[in-house]
Amino acid sequence: MGKMDGKVALVTGGASGLGAEDARVLAREGAKVVITDMNAALGEEVAASIPGCLFLQHDVRDEARWAEVVAETISRFGRLDTLVNNAGLVRFGTVEALPYDDFRLQMDVMVGGAFLGCKAAIPHMSKDGSGSIINMASVAALKGISSIPAYTAAKAGLIAMTRSIAVHCREQGHRIRVNTIAPGGIVTPMTAQALAELPQDAAGLDQIQNHGMGQPIDIANMVLYLACDDGRHITGTNITIDNGETMA
């Protein structure tokens, strides 16, 4: 018996990195999994490597497409129990250098995308009486990093919004738990991009030298915990997984 037997999970940004590993772990524990991403070629490849996994191309900024994705998930698998809002991106530049369009893009994808995902998923989860929404934040939300002001703002906003949505679900009598996870430095394509684009002494990259890099499985194991019944008493919480990076 897997911890997710009989459950259906939807993971955005599932074509690589944390999203792909989340999908693998949830499927390994018995879930039927749908992954979405803008990158169709990579998304199809990941889905093909996970038994029974469905890939849907998806821009999380598109509200109409969110309705289609949720409807297709339910049409294919009959229900929706877990939503992992993992889609994200980073554009580098200090407040003086970052174009405003890049600021808005990051806010739209990570805060707006999660907002639309919750809005689309909650009515269907509440029909079944329960569910779990996991929004992927970052330790960037908890510390100042001069080279990514929009990314830090988006992830901090995501934590605050998650608490509000958790309260809403409680007030409405939905047994839907809503939490964030804030990873530190994890070995992913996005981290590789940061290492390639930023000077090695750039502020905010000190976790690589001082704390070591985690692996996607370190985050996926917590996604599983929050998605399954093990996490049934946790909602409105941010869980930091950073090997002590934010202790000081």
The one catalytic residue among 149, 151, 152, 182 = 151
pLDDT (0 to 100) of residue 185:
84
CATH (one of 3.40.50.720, 3.40.50.2000, 3.40.50.410, 1.20.58.340) for 8-240: 3.40.50.720
Does residue 151 have an active-site annotation? yes
> How do the domains of the chain map onto residue ranges?
8-240
pLDDT tens digits, 86-138: 999 999 999 999 999 999 999 999 999 999 999 999 999 988 778 999 999 99
Secondary structure element (H or E) that encloses residue 48, with its range: helix 40-48
Report d(CA 136, CA 119) in Å as an integer. 16
Closest C-alpha to 81, from 239, 231, 244: 231
pLDDT tens digits, 58-81: 999 999 999 999 999 999 999 999
Report d(CA 216, CA 208) in Å as an integer. 15
How far the first Cα of the chain sits from its last, in Å, is 41
Name the token pair of 84. Answer: 């992992």
pTM above 0.85, yes or no: yes
Report d(CA 49, CA 199) in Å as an integer. 36
**Helix ranges, the chain (H):** 17-28, 40-48, 63-77, 100-107, 113-128, 149-171, 189-197, 206-210, 216-227
CB 237 within 8 A of CB 182: no
